[in-house]
């Protein structure tokens, strides 16, 4: 149960403050907080010094902490602060109770999505301009600290930015019944001339590799995002190459198992949007749902086996005496030659006493960025099964410090047009019994994007 929710700017000034429970900001939090107050802000609603303390405690101990606070959960005087940061904005949920931290973060992310859906980028400017809207939203999505309906589509039906629109009684009662009804995320009577849906499989691949090329850890976390423009109340069924489903089906036809067995993937864990019928998933492992209108995240999953690593980084570091370092890095692309990887960036850390760098690379551009203590090598495009190389000479300044350079790993960023987990969308069937369009009339688009998460190779 969230006790309160605060939004701060980068200076630690409170932009939005909403308190749901009185227990936060009591004496204990006050003790640890240094009493300093920010100026009066339009968004600041409460005046009680009790709340002030929790607000201040977070500012003093997290935003203005001497040491950067890495943990998203901070405990100050038996009060827990959960925060997420969006550019320069801090969102903090505060509670004194033992809540499910995952729930709180889920809510915070959801809230970011909702705000983004309403006014675009989350920035100080936008928040200040929309503070009335934000309070309105907060009233709706959180009651007494318990998260409520946070579906953007549904919210947009009754929280609008166009000022007060006089609604008829019927409209009002319709909204009420819809919001409180079984399918709260979709309203009835949606009509499109063109029934269309977009399916994006977005994956980020994480890797830690030893200098010798041994995989130390690797996993893919992926999302299936759907954008639907469908009329009526369509019933959808989503199918993919999940190993369990494939094997179950394969029991009947043995040859199919052998054919598609290799392509099926083992999903470690997954979560679904609230529209998915979990009972059906549990019993038949089929994913069927009535989608909300517009964009939503259908499912989230994670795999750790049989990951296709799009790039291989081969580092070679040689220390020449105390004042020189030679670095050579080779990257190899490891996918079909017909595909093109984009936005490739290799980041080679340099020692802290670097006094000069010379770089030679055949492809792309490389530059020594002193402010980040790294050589950044950028390649716009690269086809599969190719290889490229960079070599650098780093001059060092002899220092009094006897500490050896820790050699941080070389990291990489890229984008590839396939799913590194191997996930394939097998079908997405749409049934709308009441209206006169069938599965064939729906235009469907599928796109795969694989991005790098933390993709590091030790050197």
Q: Which is nearer to another protein, 53 or 354 (CB)?
A: 354
Find the DSSP H helices in 208-352.
243-250, 254-260, 278-284
Least spacing, CB of residue 396 vs another protein, in Å: 9
Least spacing, CB of residue 234 vs another protein, in Å: 47
Which uninterrupted H or E stretch holds 55? helix 49-58
Sequence-distant (6+) residues with CB within 8 A of 221 are: 203, 204, 206, 300, 301, 302, 453
- Contacts with another protein by CB under 8 A lie at 10, 68, 88, 352-356, 370-373, 395, 397-401
Q: Which is nearer to another protein, 261 or 398 (CB)?
A: 398
Least spacing, CB of residue 326 vs another protein, in Å: 17
Least spacing, CB of residue 86 vs another protein, in Å: 14
332 carries a ligand binding annotation = no
How far from 37 is each of 17, 51, 94, 353, CA to CA, in Å? 14, 12, 18, 41
Least spacing, CB of residue 14 vs another protein, in Å: 18
Least spacing, CB of residue 67 vs another protein, in Å: 10
Q: How far apart are CA 298 and CA 318, in angstroms?
A: 48
Tokens representing 268 are: 């470690």
Q: Which is nearer to another protein, 88 or 176 (CB)?
A: 88
Q: Which is nearer to another protein, 88 or 177 (CB)?
A: 88
Q: Which is nearer to another protein, 10 or 248 (CB)?
A: 10
Which uninterrupted H or E stretch holds 337? none
Q: How far apart are CA 353 and CA 258, in angstroms?
A: 57
378 carries a ligand binding annotation = yes
Least spacing, CB of residue 15 vs another protein, in Å: 16
305 carries a ligand binding annotation = no
380 carries a ligand binding annotation = yes
369 carries a ligand binding annotation = yes
Burial of 410 (0-12, 13-18, 19+ CB in 10 A): buried
Ordered strands of the 354-361 beta sheet:
311-320, 324-333, 387-396, 354-361
Q: Which is nearer to another protein, 263 or 355 (CB)?
A: 355
Tokens representing 353 are: 């006493």
Q: What DSSP designation does 242 have?
A: B
Sequence-distant (6+) residues with CB within 8 A of 376 are: 345, 346, 347, 348, 366, 367, 368, 369
Q: Which is nearer to another protein, 34 or 370 (CB)?
A: 370
CB 117 within 8 A of CB 159: no
Q: Which residues pair with 301 in a beta bridge?
A: 222, 270
- List, as residue ranges, the binding site: 365, 367, 369, 378, 380
């Amino acid at each position: 149960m969230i006790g309160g929710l605060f939004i701060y700017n980068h200076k630690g000034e409170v932009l939005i403050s909403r308190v749901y429970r009185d227990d936060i900001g009591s004496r204990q939090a006050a003790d640890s907080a240094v009493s300093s107050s920010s100026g009066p802000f339009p968004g600041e609603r409460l005046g009680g010094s009790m709340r002030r303390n929790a607000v201040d405690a977070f500012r003093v101990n997290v935003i203005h902490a001497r040491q950067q606070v890495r943990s998203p959960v901070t405990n100050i005087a038996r009060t827990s602060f959960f925060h997420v940061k969006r550019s320069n904005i801090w969102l903090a949920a505060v509670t004194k109770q033992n809540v499910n931290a995952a729930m709180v973060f889920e809510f915070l992310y959801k809230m970011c999505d909702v705000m983004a859906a309403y006014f675009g980028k989350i920035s100080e400017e936008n928040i200040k301009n929309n503070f009335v809207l934000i309070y309105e939203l907060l009233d709706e999505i959180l009651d007494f600290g318990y998260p409520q309906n946070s579906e953007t589509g549904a919210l947009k039906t009754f929280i609008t930015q166009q000022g007060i629109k006089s609604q008829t009684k019927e409209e009002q009662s319709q909204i009420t019944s819809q919001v409180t009804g079984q399918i709260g995320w979709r309203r009835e009577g949606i009509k499109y001339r063109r029934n269309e849906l977009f399916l994006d499989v977005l994956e980020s691949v994480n890797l830690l590799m030893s200098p010798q090329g041994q995989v130390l850890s690797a996993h893919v976390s992926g999302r299936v995002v759907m954008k639907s423009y469908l009329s009526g109340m369509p019933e959808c069924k989503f199918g993919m190459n999940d190993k369990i489903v494939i094997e179950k089906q394969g029991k009947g036809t043995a040859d199919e198992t052998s054919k598609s067995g290799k392509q099926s993937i083992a999903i470690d864990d997954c979560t679904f949007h609230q529209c998915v019928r979990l009972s059906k998933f549990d019993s038949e492992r089929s994913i069927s749902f009535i989608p909300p209108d517009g964009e939503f995240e259908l499912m989230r999953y994670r795999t750790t086996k049989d990951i296709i690593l799009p790039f291989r980084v081969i580092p070679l570091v040689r220390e020449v005496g105390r004042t020189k370092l030679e670095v050579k890095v080779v990257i190899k692309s490891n996918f079909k030659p017909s595909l093109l990887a984009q936005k490739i960036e290799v980041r080679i850390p340099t020692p802290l006493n670097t006094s000069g760098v010379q770089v030679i690379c055949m492809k792309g551009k490389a530059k020594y960025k002193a402010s980040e203590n790294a050589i950044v090598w950028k390649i716009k495009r690269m086809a599969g099964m190719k290889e490229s190389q960079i070599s650098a000479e780093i001059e060092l300044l002899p220092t009094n410090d006897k500490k050896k350079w820790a050699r941080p790993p070389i990291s990489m960023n890229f984008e590839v047009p396939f799913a590194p987990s191997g996930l394939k969308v097998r079908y997405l069937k749409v049934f709308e019994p009441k209206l006169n369009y069938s599965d064939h009339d729906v235009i469907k688009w599928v796109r795969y994007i694989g991005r790098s998460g933390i993709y590091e190779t030790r050197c």
